[in-house]
Structure 1
Amino acid sequence: MLTLRPYQQAALTAIYDYFGRKSGHPLIVIPTAGGKALVLSAFIKEVLENWPDQRILVVTHVRELIAQNYAELIGLWPDAPAGIYSAGLGKRDLGARILFAGIQSIHKRAYDIQQCDLVLIDEAHLIPCASDTMYRRFLDTLARINPHLKVIGFTATPYRLDSGMLHEGGGALFTDIAYEVSVRDLIDAGFLCPLVSKSAATKLDVTGVGSRGGEFIPSQLQAAVDKDSITRAAIDEVVAYGQDRRSWLAFCSGVEHAEHVAQAIRDRGFSCATIFGDTPKGERDRIIVAFKRGEIRALASMGVLTTGFNAPAVDLIAMLRPTKSAGLYVQMAGRGTRLSPGKSNCLVLDFAGNVALHGPIDAVMPSAPGKGDGEPPTKVCPGCDSILAAAMRKCPDCGHDFPPPELKIEATASTLEVLSTGLPQWVSVSDISYHLHEKPGKPPSMLVSYLCGMVRHREWVCIEHDGYARQKAVQWWQKRAPGLPVPTTVEQALMQADSLRVPIEIAVRPSGRFTEVAGARFT
């Protein structure tokens, strides 16, 4: 019998809870390698077991993901009435009750599909914001055929470079985040492989590189970073750090750059292949199989391998592609988070300055569109070159102790980020959501997730606990729901969540690797 991990079961519960209270299009946010495909498959199986007349469409844009999601469902439910509609896979099972489809193949076939009750979109962050796109025209047509159509998005990165959070702003397809679990939570629970990042001596210089749509202009970026001396120096570092690592992945800034990186790796006695968007399917499949078997030590890529690429053994990632996209940065880093026998962690060598720009991998700070060219607070450990959050006092990799911050009294009020001092900072709340949180061996609690700009802060309300934790939960509830009886279970609390007062601001302060919600202000 299938046993879902606690957070996977919580994601399923959150979907039903959401539709029990609202009628929008929710997002489910699970990090790369967190088993998103299994959640999707388990949900499909549950739906059809309870409502056999439903028709479900699973849509994405990547051929590999279509095949992987289909295989995951068949592995879970061998008799599933499922089919594939994808030109790239040579399948056109248009009449299947559960249809896995590529948007490029299916977007003009809405009227041929006819009945569709539920659309699940994998890698939902790749849906363009504009209303006149393949995805939006297709979904709008399905909704005209069935006004009760429900759409659920699945993603590891619920934001876009050009428009911010997927469920915010005019014309947003999605309306809420129904469930979210963080990379750090899954690493700490042992479900994902830890990532360690080192500050590279070689740096890619993007001075003078222009931007378009909030991202570096590709031709200018490649011209700036594809320098022979820089490439050779970077690969020397990769080789030095990677001698005892078995599977390297290099993300490059252009096709020619990737070819030069691959050649530099081969010149140093290691096997390396290249993969691009136009690499023929047969050749691409052959290379990936050889890489997964360990017959090829390294892959150098441009524009691919950030989505739908599953190679658990990857234990070294060389970032040779600077990006302003927090989502792309997370997707690149996420290729190393899968667990694999003999793999204790994945080393990220950041030649591109992405960690400094977007924050540590377990605490990404995506910027709002058109804003945020400054750097989040990070620092480099002098003992082992690990890149850490500025607030950390001890390096988790080598144990180096940082001196306490020097206190200075200024004649005028400081404009520095208050969080870096450990004192609370008041931030505006733009959205709030409530979820069931379960931890093995402990009573469940209610996870409250606050969206503040593009950063999420969380607190746990321990309604079913005893002692001081229960006292705090009672105080929390009475402040937000004066006059309402304090619930005795999380299920009761979630049923009344719409009656809770929503704070306009919360006070947050650093607490180890996380932030703690220290207060709330209401209108």
Structure 2
Amino acid sequence: MDLRPYQRASLDALYASWEAAAGDGLIVLPTGAGKAFVIAALVREVLARTADCRVIVVTHTRELIAQNYRELVATWPEAPAGIYSAGIGRRDASAQVLFCGIQSVWNRTQEIGAFDLVVVDEAHLIPRSAETRYGRFLAALRETRPALRVVGLTATPYRLDSGRLDEGKGRLFERIVYEANVGDLIHQGYLAPLISKATTTALDVSGVGKRGGDYIPSALEAAVNQDWITRAAVEEMVGYGRERRAWLAFCAGLAHAVAVRDAVRAEGYPCETISGESPKRERDRIVRDFREGRLRCLTSVDVLSTGFNVPRVDLIALLRPTQSTGLYVQQVGRALRTAPGKRDALILDYAGLVRMHGPVDIVTARTAAAIRGREDEVRAKPCPGCGALIALNASTCESCWIEPDDEPAGPSHEAAADDENPILSGEAPGWIAISDWSWRRRARRGEADSLDVTFHAGGGLRHRVEICLEDAGYPRERAVNWWRHLGGARDAPMTVVEALEQQGDLTCPDAIRIRANGRLSQSVDYRLADGRTFVDTRRLSEQYA
């Protein structure tokens, strides 16, 4: 079997761990890195070493069972392999290599017999407690084969409720024997590049309670499933996705997923919803239509975050806020696979997940563990050139090759010359009431004119922003979003003169909130009188501080 270098290295590291008697190990490979192929290679190489060895490959969904089985027989047609799964309708209990679902075999160890090696796919789904299906299953197998070996494969070797899978009391794995880095595999061409963007529409979960370390599902859905938020979010999704082929939206609940689906349909794009309640045949039909291009968008509740293999996905909408780094990485990972004609994938971060957990290409088992208890810290910053979210310590944006650290750290002297009242800049705590605003045309030397908007607060305080309607690229994109979210028409004006004539069409925000994004940029949250909010991120030099 022709393994990629990192795939070969992962198996070599596992064998070395076995030779050192280092205990049960984990192989960490990102989504799209070929875990099924690595499992097939592992099975074949183990049987080549020990001809009478029995191997059982366990996972949690019929899709993954079938996928792992197909991968082995595609590369080794005469493999002594079978399937034990009620969902698939096969019970090949005596097969030397058995692919199965934990739900079908956890209490049938006497029927399927003894095994020498257990391979657990999506190992992050194993609960830590021994009193679970996985715990009882492994304990029963060890009664017949005390020397049983267990290896886990996952893209996310950590759990929200208990931390890393190889640490702490009750852990099932002793160590991570190999971990491939997403960023390295992207640079080597094995995974698709990801471009993450903070959307103008932001989901506010500040008042949502938590349970078990994450948001309470019912309260979360109630907070984000609001008609105006959904319409604004979908409008942005459509704007970004017109030239993209396959969109996947992760939602906070079934009602939310249906609302997003209906909003996407209202924009003229075919869309369906999949949830854990979807009947098997309907779910298969929807996934098939999406894979074959008859659907532009799928909205999902939980079920597509693992085991979903559609390489053409090139847009992910993160509409499900979560404190779980694992869930975030699994959702974004749906876009990592390469496909013909796919240049990159766009991640629309409505939920603030990239800022909380960091860009997915820098997330590791170590960094994920370090986030626990520090979720409020910012781990990404917007590129001043294209708006992509990049790591805080990044010296270059790989989307546009702007070097953020070379950008001016503050305003020009010329911009501040006529300032008489204090400017709101840096980080202003809480919401600040806005009493009025003023607009004027601002001439820029050697560049197109811009719209200068000043927000007036109490005590003579004011905040100024530059709206670059006459620019091209990202500045124009950001200006259009600002215009639309304050009530302007979808076709934003092309010139500052037109904008000044249409000022009456827009609604002055009721309040603003300013948050620092490091040294060079800040986010301004706008709140309208009806409670709607949106966020605008810009360089500090655009505030005229």
The bucket for the TM-score relative to the shorter chain is 0.7 to 0.9
Report the residue type matching 2:376 in the other structure: G
* Aligned equivalent of 2:373: 371
Q: Are 1:251 and 2:253 counterparts?
A: no
* Aligned equivalent of 1:72: 71
Deviation readout 1:261-312 (Å, 9 max, x if unpaired): 0000000000000000121111111111110110000000001111110000
Q: Are 1:109 and 2:111 counterparts?
A: no
Distance 1:356 1:164 in 2: 20
* Aligned equivalent of 2:186: 187
Deviation readout 1:434-487 (Å, 9 max, x if unpaired): xxxxxxxxxxxxxxxxxxxxxxxxxxxxxxxxxxxxxxxxxxxxxxxxxxxxxx
Distance 1:164 1:369 in 2: 10
Percent identity, please: 53
* Aligned equivalent of 1:401: 403
* Aligned equivalent of 1:93: 92
Distance 2:170 2:408 in 1: 48
1:370 positional shift: 5.4
1:391 positional shift: 1.6
* Aligned equivalent of 1:264: 263
* Aligned equivalent of 1:473: none
Report the residue type matching 1:384 in the other structure: C
Distance 2:137 2:347 in 1: 39
Distance 2:53 2:398 in 1: 49
Distance 1:353 1:371 in 2: 17
Report the residue type matching 1:18 in the other structure: S
What are the ranges of 5 or more consecutive residues in structure 2 without an aligned counterpart?
A: 410-545
Distance 2:386 2:97 in 1: 50
Distance 1:111 1:171 in 2: 25
Distance 1:217 1:72 in 2: 38
* Aligned equivalent of 1:437: none
Secondary structure, counterpart of 1:179 in structure 2: strand
* Worse-superposed segment, 387-396 or 294-303: 387-396
Distance 1:357 1:142 in 2: 40
Paired residues of 2:311 and 2:335 also in contact (CA < 8 A): yes
Paired residues of 1:164 and 1:369 also in contact (CA < 8 A): no
Distance 2:297 2:217 in 1: 23
Q: Are 1:344 and 2:346 counterparts?
A: no
* Aligned equivalent of 1:413: none
* Aligned equivalent of 2:298: 299
* Aligned equivalent of 1:197: 196
Q: Give the alignment of 1:22-33 within 5 angstroms.
A: 22-33=21-32
Q: Which 4+ runs in 1 deviate beyond 6 A?
A: none
* Aligned equivalent of 1:274: 273
Distance 2:17 2:397 in 1: 40
Aligned match for 2:388, one of 376, 386, 392: 386
1:23 positional shift: 4.3
Q: Give the alignment of 1:512-523 within 5 angstroms.
A: none
Secondary structure, counterpart of 1:344 in structure 2: coil
Secondary structure, counterpart of 1:284 in structure 2: helix
Distance 2:397 2:54 in 1: 51
Distance 2:376 2:272 in 1: 36
Distance 1:262 1:158 in 2: 32
* Aligned equivalent of 1:463: none
Distance 2:405 2:152 in 1: 45
1:360 positional shift: 1.1
Distance 2:395 2:36 in 1: 37
Distance 1:277 1:132 in 2: 25
Paired residues of 2:357 and 2:371 also in contact (CA < 8 A): no
Secondary structure, counterpart of 2:197 in structure 1: strand
1:210 positional shift: 1.0
1:373 positional shift: 2.2
Deviation readout 1:35-62 (Å, 9 max, x if unpaired): 1110110110111122111100000011
Paired residues of 2:121 and 2:153 also in contact (CA < 8 A): yes
Larger radius of gyration, structure 1 or 2? 2
Q: Are 1:309 and 2:311 counterparts?
A: no
Paired residues of 1:162 and 1:369 also in contact (CA < 8 A): no
Distance 1:268 1:75 in 2: 42
CA RMSD of aligned residues (A): 1.4
1:374 positional shift: 2.4
* Aligned equivalent of 2:361: 362
Paired residues of 2:354 and 2:379 also in contact (CA < 8 A): no
Secondary structure, counterpart of 2:64 in structure 1: helix
1:394 positional shift: 2.7
Secondary structure, counterpart of 1:310 in structure 2: coil
1:130 positional shift: 1.4
Deviation readout 1:488-515 (Å, 9 max, x if unpaired): xxxxxxxxxxxxxxxxxxxxxxxxxxxx
Report the residue type matching 1:97 in the other structure: Q
* Aligned equivalent of 2:225: 226
Secondary structure, counterpart of 2:221 in structure 1: helix
Deviation readout 1:287-343 (Å, 9 max, x if unpaired): 111101100000000011111100000000000000111011000000001010110
Secondary structure, counterpart of 2:100 in structure 1: strand
Paired residues of 1:384 and 1:397 also in contact (CA < 8 A): yes
